[in-house]
């Protein structure tokens, strides 16, 4: 059911809501929060559709605030409030009021919204586009317990992250942070499966995507290791590579829907990691209304601290284990011992040195393995071989 009101007031809008609920046979109010959407006419449809889909999980009263731009000086002097009231199937599982503000009343949107808030219910304000740099300082943001922005829609998203870190207030959050929730869960689960020490991390994604920077700052803050931000063609985040002392851990998503988790010594696993739409992101944010301390710590880490000057391990490089290093050291020690005995000469008895004899017998075989069909001359540094051994070698 839809009701259009022209040049109206907040009191008339409340009466229209009560009348509409009675008309459809649901006079009781069963909503859990008030969602205020501050947007423009261009993005109002998509934002309202996402809010209606999210209302199936969180029944709410949705107030859409659209500040209309007056084109002539004459229109700017005329203040007017138009409203569209939707109840029932047209408003998802809650109520929707679309408010269009003209003239001076657009500068006092909080005075229009305040009488329409649900009593004793939390308030969430969402800016799909053109969010203020200080959401808590905005008159509408001051009414809310949670303030949701989307840095991805800004012209300079990475620079805006730094501005939001300076103006952060408990209760602020961003949909760019919500988009990486599956990535954070998968990376934490991967590190729980192995016992290792992370030396460095590389986050790969498309340019001008603040989710990549937020994920890199979260990893740098939690792991306390250097994190490198590299670019790809997307879509979105494409890969995270963690260099550890037990081998690389790679989470790679090239197509935007299916990812591959690779851990050293384990078979590769396919992981569903699709890109979620706005309705799913808003529904996730409405599940928790307390301050997100993890987001605050990642945001305050700072974009400028990424891409350190320290050299990163080469892709695919794996550190040797302790057993391999000890074997290599033992081989080096044996080789140096053999060289030392050759320099000092054979035993005092004058008999052929056993090590030299063994090397002399093995030399032709190794040479044949390296270059089949070619005759190898005995090394000049080795002692003469007895005729019996020479004959056997010739045979």
224: left (phi over 0), alpha (psi -120 to 50) or beta: left
364's CB contacts (< 8 A; 6+ apart) are 376, 378, 393
* pTM of the entire predicted model: 0.75
Residues 66 and 41: beta-carbon distance below 8 Å: yes
Residue 323 makes CB contacts below 8 A (sequence gap 6+) with: none
Which segments of the chain are extended strands (E)? 2-5, 33-39, 60-67, 80-87, 95-102, 123-126, 146-149, 172-174, 198-205, 227-231, 237-244, 249-252, 258-263, 269-272
Residue 29, classed as helix, strand or coil, is coil
Residue-by-residue pLDDT tens, the chain, 395 positions: 889 999 999 999 999 999 988 888 776 667 889 999 999 999 999 999 999 999 888 899 999 999 987 776 766 678 899 999 998 877 777 899 999 999 889 989 999 999 999 999 999 999 999 999 999 999 999 999 999 999 999 989 989 999 999 999 999 999 999 999 999 999 999 999 888 899 999 999 998 899 999 999 999 999 999 999 999 887 889 999 999 998 999 999 988 889 999 998 899 999 999 999 999 999 999 998 999 999 999 999 988 888 766 555 554 444 444 444 444 444 444 444 434 434 334 443 344 444 443 333 333 333 333 333 444 344 343 344 443 433 333 33
CB 226 within 8 A of CB 313: no
Q: Is the peptide bond before 235 cis (omega within 30 degrees of 0)?
A: yes
Alpha carbon separation from 16 to 4, 5, 9, 116, 166 (Å, rounded): 9, 9, 11, 12, 42
pLDDT recorded at residue 382: 38
| Beta bridge partners of residue 272, listed in sequence order | 258
pLDDT of residue 175: 96
């Amino acid at each position: 059911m839809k009701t259009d009101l022209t040049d109206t007031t907040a009191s008339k809008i409340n009466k229209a809501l009560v009348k509409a609920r009675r008309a459809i046979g649901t006079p009781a109010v069963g909503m859990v929060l008030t969602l205020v959407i501050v947007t423009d006419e261009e993005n109002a449809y998509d934002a309202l559709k996402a809010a209606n889909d999210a209302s199936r999980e969180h029944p709410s009263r949705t107030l859409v605030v659209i500040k209309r731009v007056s084109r002539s000086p004459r229109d700017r002097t005329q203040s007017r409030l138009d409203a569209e009231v939707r109840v029932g199937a047209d408003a998802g599982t809650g109520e929707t009021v679309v408010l269009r503000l003209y003239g001076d009343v657009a500068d006092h949107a909080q005075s229009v919204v305040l009488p329409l808030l649900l009593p004793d219910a939390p308030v969430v304000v969402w800016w799909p586009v053109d969010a203020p740099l200080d959401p808590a300082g905005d008159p509408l943001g001051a009414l809310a317990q949670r303030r949701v922005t989307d840095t991805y829609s800004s012209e300079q998203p990475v620079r805006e992250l730094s501005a939001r870190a300076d103006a952060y207030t408990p209760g602020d959050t961003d949909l760019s942070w919500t988009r990486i929730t599956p990535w954070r869960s998968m990376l934490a689960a991967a590190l729980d499966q192995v016992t290792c020490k992370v030396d460095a991390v590389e986050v790969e994604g498309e340019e001008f995507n603040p989710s990549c920077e937020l994920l890199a700052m979260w990893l740098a803050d939690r792991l306390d290791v250097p994190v490198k931000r590299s670019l790809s063609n997307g879509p979105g985040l494409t890969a995270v590579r963690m260099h550890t002392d037990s081998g690389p851990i790679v989470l790679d998503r090239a197509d935007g829907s299916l990812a591959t988790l690779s851990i050293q010594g384990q078979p590769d696993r396919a992981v569903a990691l699709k890109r979620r739409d706005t309705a799913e992101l808003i529904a996730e944010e409405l599940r928790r209304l307390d301050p997100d301390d993890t987001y605050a710590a990642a945001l305050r880490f700072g974009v400028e601290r990424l891409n350190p000057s320290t050299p990163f391990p080469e892709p695919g490089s794996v550190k040797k284990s302790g057993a391999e290093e000890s074997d290599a050291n033992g081989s080096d020690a044996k080789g140096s011992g053999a060289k030392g005995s050759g320099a000092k000469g054979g035993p005092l008895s004058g008999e052929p040195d056993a090590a030299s004899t063994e090397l002399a017998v093995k030399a032709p075989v190794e040479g044949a393995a390296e270059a089949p069909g070619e005759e190898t001359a005995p090394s000049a540094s080795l002692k003469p071989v007895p005729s019996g051994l020479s004959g056997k070698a010739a045979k």
